[in-house]
Structure 1
Amino acid sequence: MSTKVEKRILVNVPVSTAYNQWTQFEEFPHFMGGVKSVTQLSDDRLEWVAEIGGVRRQWEAKILEQVPDRKVAWAATEGATNAGVVEFEDIGGGQTSIQLTLEYEPEGLIEKVGDKLNVVDRQAEADLKRFKEFIEDEGYASGAWRGTVNPGATFGTPGVEDAAASRGDSGKAGVSGKV
């Protein structure tokens, strides 16, 4: 059974600054707790390694839709089953509303217990707060990718059914005693 997490945060930077920073995927470990690395394989493919609660997970994700200053939608193609979207809304006055919607399938006992304790929900909220601090402290994005992926596509909010090809990693990434 999948779990859906929805979080929203207001950041005090223009929408282009927030979006541009978000597209610097390889910098996610700077503000996302538990994310060990993100490797951009191509314009629309990312490899992730994360460790939350001592459980190490690895997956590859495909960006399904990316529209500058609007959204980035993805679904896992192998490894840990997850999908979602980050949407950016210019609310004026140099402020941006960021909406994160994430759906994932917890695997194994540790993840299922963590799911019941809302670990990922709290992690997502903390990650957005760290992103806010990160981008507001800098005041500018460290880079930008203004290209599009599947322009005009209407994927809406992808769910785990869009990540069905990933079928989880059945714990193959293992449990690590190191945090």
Structure 2
Amino acid sequence: MKFFYFITALFLFQSCVPVQVAPKLKNDKVTKGKKFKKDLPDVYTYIFRDPKDVDEFYNYINIKYECNDEYVDDMVPVIIDDHLYYLSWYETDKSSSTWNLGGMIVDKALENEGVSPLFDRTGYTRTSDTWYIALHLLDFQRNDVLHPDHEKRDRAIEFFKEMRQEYLSTDNYYQAYLKRGY
């Protein structure tokens, strides 16, 4: 019976209950921005997980499309198959949170015995952020290119997949600038 209590106590010390879980995207996803996160615009966006440091995608776009630190995240002109489009992008995060249920129970039991808690109250929850890049594309008439009814949607998704691959595999963004091929 002591072994059972020991295993139960060990389980409680190790038990973390997920409260909020960030989505795990294998590669990418096309969805409405507001559906993914409320502060994104209500247009179709191409979303992928960004494992790089903050401002890396900013630097990538700034160098590749020669933005000179002006309008880097909004209405960047890009050419796909000899057609002009406007790229807007957003760097956003989703949090994952867990509660340390075992620590809460042990501290409550210790408080009832008049003993000071073992765990810091701020240590009951653990939060980690996962960062994502959300890309949006407009055509010359300001139509949403990622909309399911747009005739160039498949080509735009293919373009974004190539862009994601290039961004993730490139450390020196001047290489991306030289590959641009205008």
User: Fold match, TM over 0.5?
Assistant: no
More strand by share: 1
RCO comparison, higher one (Cα < 8 Å, 6+): 1
| Greater fraction of residues in helix | 2
TM-score range normalised by the length of the shorter chain: 0.3 to 0.5
| TM-score w.r.t. length of structure 2 | 0.36
